[in-house]
A and B are shown apart, each in its own frame.
Chain A
Amino acid sequence: MFQMMLSGLTIGAIYGLLGMALSISFYVTRVINFAQGQMLMIAIIVAACLSEAGFNPWLGVALGPLAACVLGVASYFIGVRPILKADRFSFGWMVSTLGFGLVVENAIAYAVGPRSRGFPPLLNDIPIRLGDAVITGQQILALLVAAFAVAALEFVRKRTLFGKVGMATAADPEMAESIGANTMIVSAVTFALSGLIAGIAGVLIAPRTFANPYLGGTFNTFGFVAMMIGGGPENPANAMYGGLLLGVLAEGANSYINSQASDWFPFLILVLVLIVTPRGLFSTSNPLFRPRPARPA
């Protein structure tokens, strides 16, 4: 049980990071970037290719997320900005970001080949015993990065002027422009940040998987579920909580039902969660988290 919880939390941290990446760009621009999974993928491919070429694996760990960051900015200027500039209320970005992701995926497959590559273990071959359970150094790193990402994001959102102008852009982009904020720059920075976080998620999970150009789609789906279960559209940090829950549910289904169940069980929970709290489990629409009126003295 403890082992299952640990494994679930660590994979959930990855889903949570991807959910946060999706939520950050959605929070500011109201756009869901369906190419987010491909940013995770490109970070893994860049790191794997550098390692394969004989470079220090940690160089790939540093450069992979940066490549994802650049791809995030490119997805904004190619897949999002032209659509929103023509019509702020258009949903054309649904197709354009999906298309952007597919083009990137196939371009990478064409450039480096569609085969799966091995990924250096990094900290994955350092086992640490916790009672009867075993956790690897890589898993601990994933949990620490997830905790840091939530704290840093909350700090930026609530305590910095950039976070506040991001909130202003999210609430009323036209008014944000009218106070002098260049909303194009604000949006591009949030897409860069989203790409960076997805890339970090990629190099954290890569030692447990293969480097394959087509793995972005699956992670994108789980990141999206994490965002929706948690209530990421309201507050990106909620996506992390959703991701952790999703990871535990998937591992639990794997342990207690069968290995196939980890694919469908979380989605069943997603539907139930959205019926009870349509904005996500950790959103203010949840009766448990809704502020209660003060009791009369």
Chain B
Amino acid sequence: MSSANNILEVSSLAGGYGRFDVVRNITLRLREGEAVGLLGPNGAGKTTILRGIMGLLKQRVGTIRIGDTDVTMFPTHRIARGYAAIAPEGRRLFADQTVEDNLILGAWHRRREPQRVQALLDSVYALFPVLREYRHRQSSFLSGGEQQMVAIGRMLMADPLILLLDEPSIGLSPVAVDIVVKALIELRRRGASLLLVEQRVDVAARVCDRLYVISGGEIVEETTPEVVGREGAELINKYLG
């Protein structure tokens, strides 16, 4: 394991989509079993950081280490094979396929380990029992909250070292947000390492140990939920608008 049990170390990450960098000089770390939030307004570069870690940015500099491995030069599909998995913004389920097919596809790199895949599937169904009931239903026929459960379940099926979640609460009803947050807290209890992008400070504060505030493509502050609880309004006004 890399220094001080860091399961993710991002150093001097910069990158974007065209000629211009969306994020600059991003240095962050995630310890094993820790949950870290990335807070910031729209367009701050939070999603770009997650895409950079997943190898989805064409233009990227800096180094990314997951576990003991430098994955900076790895293609996305290799990073997805046990290093990191993502529940992206907007869920991006395979809409024509059933709930169970979406979940099983999440374990694509474990396709030659059927018993392991079944065990992972059972653990996802234990986390979200409603998905077992809907397992043969086409994923596009689910509600937003149920789709988010499938997206998180698909991510868990990869059984990776780190979990990346991009705005899991966006567009969900308060009830669905509560279910998702409880699931994330349960994942933490199971020892998962999470990097969570959120606009909702209350959601990030309930789940995370530490928070990075992103603004204008850079990390402008590292804080904790307790500090946010005390200085919430001031912080929100200062960075999140």
Contacts and interface: CB of A to CB of B under 8 A. Distances in A.
B77 A172 contact: no
Interface in B18-69: 54, 56
B81 interface: yes
Interface string B60-104: 000000000000000111001100011010001011110001001
Interface string A177-191: 111111100000000
Contacts of B116: none
> What size tier do the contact residues of chain B reach?
20 to 34
Contacts, number: 59
Contacts of A180: 77, 80-81, 108-109, 158
A137 B44 CA distance: 68
A161 interface: yes
Contacts of A168: 94, 97, 105
Main secondary structure of the interface of A (DSSP, over half): helix
A171 B97 CA distance: 10
Contacts of B96: 167, 171
Contact of B101 (A164, A172, A177): A164
B94 A161 contact: no
Contact of A172 (B54, B56, B92): B92
Contacts of B80: 177-180
A175 interface: yes
B158 A167 contact: no
Contacts of B104: 161, 164
A165 interface: yes
A227 to B, nearest CB: 19
B92 A165 contact: no
Interface of A: 161, 164-165, 167-168, 171-172, 174-175, 177-183
